[in-house]
């Protein structure tokens, strides 16, 4: 079955000891007669500093390009992958992270600084912007403060084996989806990559067909009813973190009389006001915030896999769920009572129907 929505994939893996996500990017680029581009990848990590619940940081990502300079995939760090890494390992030369407590400063750093620059010089453009200089520390870190002494950013050697976490991120894919995912995971297997204890796979569906109040209402009610059963069906990794249910405020919103009949700008504004979070089972945040770079609906409950088949099967399943939500435009539909009835109501292929019936 051709996918009804363009889909992008994020698959969390670990490179073997002694290798890195850069090595996997190089394998994929060579296969396409292309090259690798370094870039800064932003993340958030918990903070133990009182009054600062999180730190913003950037680490090196690696973009595999084909012979025409087109993106094949990106290979980035994921801070949730911790198990099995040797924290006492010596940092690898040339690998570092940049930390700040303000996302705006982090985005400014990404715009101004060169990801190919060495640690001791990478923050020079930020220091110049604030009229100061980068200050090397005995620990090997480099710190930039403003002219009042307030910390702006710190560059530090990447902790032990943090070069090994490797999240593969594809661009949006259409009919080439199966071939691209098969190639990427085939190279990951050949490189000796393994599945992290906390590993997950995420699927981003193009949200354009979902941009109606009725479609969102259908989606929220269906996934609220059957989310637990769907997690059991796909085998959600019990060690995966950054999952969770939607807030009561979202449920109350879609249950409000008249919500499904709202025009899309009004519905989108209402969604933006219910405190949506990225880190949940099903991510609506990019729809609600009008993210122009990633207007997607994200499924986050899948386990990581080095085999493309279960990920592609899940993509077909959730693609059919999304199609069910939109196939009667403007209509708030009755959600099937149990997951077997739901599967019967979906336009699944014969293969998919047999696959999920067997899993159930």
DSSP H or E run through 46: strand 35-46
Please state the rounded mean pLDDT for residues 255-275: 94
Please state the rounded mean pLDDT for residues 95-99: 95
For the cut 70, the answer to whether the pLDDT of residue 151 exceeds it is yes
Q: b/e string for 123-140 if b means 16 or more Cβ within 10 A?
A: bbbbbeeeebebeeeeee
Please state the rounded mean pLDDT for residues 21-32: 98
What per-residue confidence (pLDDT) applies to 51? 64
What per-residue confidence (pLDDT) applies to 118? 96
For the cut 90, the answer to whether the pLDDT of residue 241 exceeds it is no
pLDDT digit string (tens) for 38-70? 999 999 876 666 666 577 899 999 999 999 999
CA-based nearest residue to 123, from 36, 40, 22: 40
For the cut 60, the answer to whether the pLDDT of residue 3 exceeds it is no
CA-based nearest residue to 315, from 359, 348, 360, 279: 348
What per-residue confidence (pLDDT) applies to 2? 46
Task: Indicate the DSSP class of residue 169.
Answer: E
For the cut 70, the answer to whether the pLDDT of residue 228 exceeds it is yes
Count of residues for the chain? 360
């Amino acid at each position: 079955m051709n996918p009804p929505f363009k889909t992008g994939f994020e698959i969390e893996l670990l490179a073997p000891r002694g290798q890195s996500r850069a090595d996997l990017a190089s394998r994929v680029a060579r296969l396409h007669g292309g090259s690798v581009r370094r870039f800064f990848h932003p993340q958030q990590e918990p903070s133990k500093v009182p009054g600062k619940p999180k730190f913003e940081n950037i680490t090196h990502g690696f973009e595999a390009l084909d012979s025409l300079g087109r993106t094949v995939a990106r290979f980035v760090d994921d801070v949730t992958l911790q198990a099995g890494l040797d924290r006492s390992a010596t940092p690898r030369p040339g690998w570092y992270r940049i930390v700040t407590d303000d996302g705006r400063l982090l985005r400014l750093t990404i715009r101004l600084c060169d990801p190919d620059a060495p640690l001791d010089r990478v923050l020079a453009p930020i220091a110049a912007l604030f009229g100061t200089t980068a200050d090397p520390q005995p620990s090997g870190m480099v710190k930039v403060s403003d002219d009042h002494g307030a910390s702006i950013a710190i560059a530090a050697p990447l902790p032990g084996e943090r070069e090994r976490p490797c999240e593969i991120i594809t661009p949006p894919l259409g009919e080439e989806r199966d071939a691209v995912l098969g190639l990427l995971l085939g190279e990951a297997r050949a490189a000796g990559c393994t599945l992290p204890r906390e590993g997950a796979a995420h699927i981003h569906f193009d949200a354009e067909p979902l941009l109606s109040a009725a479609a969102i209402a259908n989606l929220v009610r269906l996934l609220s009813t059957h989310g637990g059963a769907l997690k059991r069906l796909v085998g959600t990794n019990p060690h995966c973190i950054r999952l969770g249910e939607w807030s009561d405020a979202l449920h109350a919103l879609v249950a409000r009389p008249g919500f499904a009949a709202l025009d899309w700008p009004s519905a989108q504004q209402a969604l933006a006001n219910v405190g949506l979070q990225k880190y949940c089972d099903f991510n609506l945040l990019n729809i609600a915030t009008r993210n122009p770079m990633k207007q997607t609906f994200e499924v986050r409950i899948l386990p990581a896999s080095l085999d493309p088949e279960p990920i592609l099967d899940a993509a077909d399943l959730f693609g059919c769920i999304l199609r069910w939500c939109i196939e009667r435009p403007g209509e708030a539909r009755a959600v099937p009572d149990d997951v077997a009835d739901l599967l019967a109501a979906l336009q699944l292929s014969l293969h998919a129907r047999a696959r999920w019936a067997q899993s159930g």
